Amino acid sequence: MTRRIAWLNEKGGSGKSTSALNLSANLASRFGQRVLLIDVDHQANITAVLTHGQTAKKTLTDVFLSDVPVEQAIFKTRILNLDLLPADSALADVNVAMADTGNRLGLGRELRLKRALAPIEKNYDFVIVDTGPQRTLLNINVLNYVDEVFVPIDPGYWSIMGVQHLEKLVEQIRLHMEHDTLHIGGVLLTKVQKTNVAREVEQQVREYFGEQVFRTAIPLNVKVEEAHSRGISVLDYSPDSAGAVAYLEFTKEVLFHAADTENRLG
Ligand SMILES: Nc1ncnc2c1ncn2[C@@H]1O[C@H](COP(=O)(O)OP(=O)(O)O)[C@@H](O)[C@H]1O
Ligand SMILES: [Mg+2]
């Protein structure tokens, strides 16, 4: 069964794109999983990294605005087993078009991503979605599509509040869209520094979210950021760095969670 995971946190800079990219690359190249990474942010950071600055022929915008079949927008990345559904800046227009109920895109607007992906989903073990920071109709589409929400938290004093809003949103979608399988699948501490604030917030996050918090915390590590400009994961760029080791451990946790779920279901 395909696991559908979205990285979400309405706070910008919390490590959504970095975590989506490194998790996807590790699952694909180190663990042989077939992964589709979807860029649902009009800032298109992941797209820029994985296309090495090339222009993607078709993007998610074309799928929404021009009914281009999703297969035509799939970009084969240089990373083994990793496909990308790219974004571009015009994705912001999709939100505007969907907001207008008189527009063609206004109809069935909360479920358009789910419908678009249906024909190709079976080709993948994981579909991983990166999102932009605002609450948009695109992000509602993402929540209607995925089952698991992963929340990256960059531990600062306001970080827990943002996640409480997100929990409410997930609850609303479960209720009003009758999407029972949607849940917060995990909270990942990112960009963790060796400061008192970080230590206190980490403790609060672990108390509040309990088992939902991944054991691995990702340290603030310059190699993680440097890897972006090379278009690769930090594990390929600098395998012994603290960032690479942490993202590898985190990837294993995500895979073991899957095993747990299957055991329980089976
Ligand atoms: N563990 C880390 N160590 C150092 N820099 C990081 C780390 N994680 C993310 N960054 C950097 O922090 C910035 C914000 O991260 P990003 O993943 O783009 O957040 P978001 O997608 O939530 O806005 C980026 O410049 C990224 O390269
Ligand atoms: Mg981002």
pLDDT digits 0-9 by tens, 71-130: 999 999 999 999 999 999 999 999 888 888 788 887 788 999 999 999 999 999 999 999
Instruction: Check residues 156 and 265 and name the one with the higher pLDDT.
Output: 156
Question: The dihedral of CA 192, 256, 23, 138: what is its sign?
Answer: negative
* Residue 211 CA to ligand 2 centre (angstroms): 25
Q: Which amino acid appears at position 94 of this protein?
A: V
Ligand 1, pocket residues at CB < 6 Å:
12-18, 45, 190-191, 218, 220-221, 224-225, 228, 243
- Write down the pTM of the prediction: 0.95
Closest residue by Cα to residue 232 from 5, 92, 49 = 49
Q: Looking at the CA of 43, which ligand is closest?
A: 2
The predicted pLDDT at position 258 comes to 53
Q: Looking at the CA of 8, which ligand is closest?
A: 1
The residue contributing the CA closest to ligand 1 atom 9 is: 15
* Residue 264 CA to ligand 2 centre (angstroms): 33
pLDDT digits 0-9 by tens, 151-167: 999 988 778 888 888 99
Q: Which amino acid appears at position 266 of this protein?
A: G
pLDDT digits 0-9 by tens, 29-42: 999 999 999 999 99
> What would the mean pLDDT of 257-264 be, rounded to a whole number?
49
Closest residue by Cα to residue 21 from 256, 163, 169, 229 = 229
Mutation test residue for ligand 1: of 166, 225, 248, the one with most atoms within 8 Å of CB: 225
What CATH number belongs to 3-265?
A: 3.40.50.300
